[in-house]
Amino acid sequence: MADLTSFVDEPMALPLDVRIVARDLKVDLSDFPDSRLLQIQYQAKGRIRAALRWRYSSESSLKIDDPVVSTPIQAPYYTGQIPNDDSYQEGVNKQLIAVKVLSGVFSDQWEIKFTSSTEFSLTGRFSRSQGTGLISSDFTSINKYILIYSDAWEGTFAKNDRFYFTTNNFDPFITYIASLLTAGYAIGYEYTPLGGKPKQLNPLVQYAEQLWDELADPKSGRALGKGVTYIDDSPVAMPYNIDHLGRNITEAPDEDNWGYDGEIGSWEHQYNDSD
pTM: 0.74
The dihedral of CA 241, 245, 248, 251: what is its sign? Answer: negative
Check residue 93 and give its pLDDT. Answer: 65
* Distance (Å, whole) CA 133 – CA 75: 19
* Distance (Å, whole) CA 70 – CA 179: 14
* Non-local CB neighbours of 72 within 8 Å, separated by 6+ positions: 95, 96, 97, 98, 99, 112, 163, 164, 165
Among residues 67, 55, 22, 34, the alpha carbon closest in space to that of 181 is found at 22
Check residue 78 and give its pLDDT. Answer: 34
List the chain pLDDT tens, one digit each, 275 residues: 788 999 999 999 999 999 888 888 888 888 888 999 999 999 999 999 999 988 888 899 999 999 999 989 887 533 445 554 444 455 456 889 999 999 999 999 999 999 999 999 999 999 999 999 999 999 999 999 999 999 999 988 989 888 999 999 999 999 999 999 999 998 885 555 555 555 556 788 888 988 988 888 877 777 776 544 333 333 333 344 444 444 444 544 444 443 334 443 333 333 344 44
Half-sphere exposure of 78 (CA within 13 A, CB side): 1
Among residues 49, 68, 47, the alpha carbon closest in space to that of 59 is found at 49
Check residue 271 and give its pLDDT. Answer: 36
Check residue 204 and give its pLDDT. Answer: 87
Check residue 171 and give its pLDDT. Answer: 93
* Distance (Å, whole) CA 54 – CA 64: 19
Check residue 225 and give its pLDDT. Answer: 66
**E strand residue ranges, 6-107:** 63-69, 73-75, 94-96, 100-101
The separation between CA 267 and the C-alpha centre of its own chain, rounded to angstroms, equals 30
* Contact status, residue 195 vs residue 189, Cβ threshold 8 Å: no
Check residue 196 and give its pLDDT. Answer: 56
Decide: helix, strand or coil at residue 195.
coil
